[in-house]
Amino acid sequence: MNTTLNDMQREGGEPPLNLIAAQYVLGTLSASARLRFQSRLQQEPELRALTHAWERRLNPLTHLLNPQPVPIEVWQKIEARLDGVNLMEKTSTTPIKHQPHHPQIVSNDNYWKPFAWISTGIAASLTLFLFVRPEFSTIVQPMVAQQSQIMRDVAVLSTDKNSPAWIVRQQGQSLILSVLNAQSVPSDRDLELWSIHDKSAPRSLGIIHLTNGQATISKVTADLISKDVTLAISLEPKNGSPTGQPTGAVLYTGKIIRT
Amino acid sequence: MFASALDERALLLKIGQGDRDAFRQLYDQTSPQLFAVALRLLRKRDAAEEVLQEVFLTLWHAADQYDIERGSVRTWMSTITRNRCIDRIRRTPLETLPLLDDDALASEKDDPLSHVLDQDHHQLLSVCLEGLDSQQRQCVSLAFFDGMTHQEVAAHLTVPLGSAKTWIRRGLDFLKKCMGAI
């Protein structure tokens, strides 16, 4: 990673991948070069990784701009579009002319075709649109080479008052727990993390040893954090439950959101 | 600062489950910043408002696809916003539009870094930006914030295209080395 952009110049005059990735994120590529790059992004994991590194480097620059007040209509339009999509998803057979969100189009027969497309295809096209966008393609396509390094959010554990207290992320076979807003633990107690699946007995994932607000639980097998699992944290005696089952109060719970 | 980045991750997870309140909260927290990005790049309010709508609709439907590889939630949202804007302005060249006034520009006087998140190495970025020479910084800024291509940067500064390209490449190279492997 110490190679400079100049050092990476390849023979034959083609710009090095890292330079193209940097220019893509910076935004200097021409329209056609940008399109070519976006199509390559979907197929080349190495290019995606370089691009993401440049996104992490450069895009925080946007925080240097002074926030600008957003007109209230923007949120109203977003809500209307969401409700419109939801409505169509639920009532896809509803005649188009009864849709309330595009009256100006409905009243004009010339707009029938595009509107028919909008009304019948909006959910599908929006989905397609999302998935073909380069920024999402990386997630849709497996990144085998980097799988072990990727850290994914898998759950939020909340108190019984539904207040988020922990974020749980997965990296390989480890879970990384980060404290958002958890109460302190008495010195003679420990927090223990559990995996609960259906009506099976809870299985311990380990004791939570916090360092700087984070704890790592290692050797977590996939079945312990599969989709139907609820994670829970209980307050236990020092060094964990003596029985192998939760003995103290369950302080935080949350469902696995994705695996 | 760390907590606020995680808070936004928590909001995103809730949004992935269809939580409209969380969606509204993340909108309130992030939309003014993203609007500034879009306004500056697109130079037209109506276009910036449209992009902002697209970005948040995207977010609503793709919240569960967030990947930490893309940086913090805020950075990811900035990436989506910038990509949308740049795609647009490449379709409609900028030359007919004036640069936006200074009110939406970076202001270093009021400590713009005070509200940003540490996990994206903003302090480091800030230090590294200081290390760019003035030509490099100006070129990088015109490209990044104003959406200019190499040709447009060269024309704006009335310098040869080769000079603009070189300054940009050296600026990027310096930033990469200065920031290390993040």
Which residues on neighbouring strands pair with residue A175, listed in sequence order? A170, A217
- Lowest mean pLDDT of A81-85, A196-200, B138-142, B176-180, name the range: A81-85
44-63 in chain A: CB under 8 A from chain B? 49, 52-53, 55-63
Residue A7 has pLDDT above 50, yes or no: no
Residue A159, C-beta contacts closer than 8 angstroms, at least 6 positions apart = A165, A251, A252
> In what helix (H) or strand (E) does residue A51 lie, and over which residues does it extend?
helix A45-58
| The pLDDT value given to residue B7 | 85
Which has the higher per-residue pLDDT, B97 or B30? B30
Task: Find the residue in A nearest to B59 (Cα).
Answer: A130
The predicted model scores a pTM of 0.60
Average pLDDT on B21-26 reads 94
Which residues are CB-neighbours of A141 under 8 A, at least 6 positions away? Answer: A42, A45
Between B110 and A76, name the one with better pLDDT.
A76
- State yes or no: pLDDT of A181 exceeds 80: no
Higher-scoring residue by pLDDT: A47, A82: A47
State the average pLDDT for chain A.
Answer: 73
Whether A139 contacts chain B with CB within 8 A: yes
pLDDT digits (tens, 9 = 90+) for B68-125: 889 999 999 999 999 999 988 887 765 555 555 444 444 333 333 333 334 445 667 7
Across A222-231, B31-40, B146-155, least confident range:
A222-231
pLDDT attached to residue A137: 39
Task: Using an 8 Å CB-CB cutoff, list chain B residues near A136.
Answer: 62, 65
Substitution target from B21, B26, B59, B61 for chain A, most A beta carbons within 10 A: B61
Q: Which chain A residue's Cα is nearest to B112?
A: A64
pLDDT of A149 reads 54
Region of poorest pLDDT, from A40-44, B46-50, B109-113: B109-113
Q: Please check whether residue A16 touches B, CB under 8 A.
A: no
Which comes out higher in pLDDT, residue A17 or A126? A17
**Which amino acid would we find at residue A36?**
R
Check residue A5 and give its pLDDT.
54
DSSP assignment letter at A199: T
Judged by average pLDDT, the poorest of A92-101, A158-167, B12-21, B135-144 is A92-101
Residues 6+ apart with CB under 8 A from A20: A29, A37, A47
**Three-state helix/strand/coil letters over chain B:** CHHHHHHHHHHHHHHHCCCHHHHHHHHHHHHHHHHHHHHHHHCCHHHHHHHHHHHHHHHHHHHHHCCHHHCCHHHHHHHHHHHHHHHHHHHCCHHHCCCCCHHHCECCCCCHHHHCCHHHCHHHHHHHHHHCCHHHHHHHHHHHCCCCCHHHHHHHHCCCHHHHHHHHHHHHHHHHHHHCCC
Element (H, E) at A88: helix A72-90
pLDDT band at B26 (very low <50, low <70, confident <90, very high): very high
Cβ pair B69:A150 closer than 8 A: yes
Cβ partners under 8 Å of residue A2, min gap 6: B177
- Per-residue pLDDT tens for B126-178? 778 888 888 898 899 899 999 999 999 999 999 999 999 999 999 999 988 88
- A58–B144 C-beta distance less than 8 A: yes
Cβ pair A155:B66 closer than 8 A = no
Contact B153, A24 (CB under 8 A): no
Best mutation target among A46, A70, A81 (most B Cβ atoms within 10 Å) is A70
Query: In this complex, is the C-beta atom of A128 within 8 Å of any C-beta atom belonging to chain B?
Result: no
The Cβ-side half-sphere exposure at A205, using a 13 Å CA radius, reads 32
pLDDT band at A141 (very low <50, low <70, confident <90, very high): very low
